[in-house]
Structure 1
């Protein structure tokens, strides 16, 4: 049962990685802090990966599901 569960999870993650190749997260950095005056800057941090990684995860997940059924 554990191998099949891992295979299902890997397949789902692989499909999601194929659909979404990247995402951004935003952090806030303090630029100026002079007494009551504060100036903040929002910085985007993109995270990207190759679609090949998603394909490999999906295929390995499917292989684990099929192999478990045999």
Structure 2
């Protein structure tokens, strides 16, 4: 399997996951204050939404890479 086919499969899988889950979240720690030996840290939950058009576009580009003629 060459690099183009691997990239095509990766795009199709990533697009499918993007459509299935719609986004992902992660925790970000920030230091708010430090007074002497005391330190105040806040954990914030951040969410990244993946647009539907991005998932569909990734699947379409992956499919085009699979069916495109190759010059060998």
- Structure 2-normalised TM-score? 0.77
- Runs of 4+ with >6 A deviation: none
Q: CA RMSD in A?
A: 1.8
Number of residues paired by the alignment? 69
Q: Which runs of 5+ in 2 are unaligned?
A: none
Taking the TM superposition and a 5 Å limit, the aligned residue runs for 1:1-70 are: 1-68=2-69
Contact 1:4 1:68 in 2 (8 A): no
Q: Which runs of 5+ in 1 are unaligned?
A: none
Q: Distance in 2 between matches of 1:31 and 1:2?
A: 46
- Structure 1-normalised TM-score? 0.79
Q: Greater helix percent: which structure? A: 1
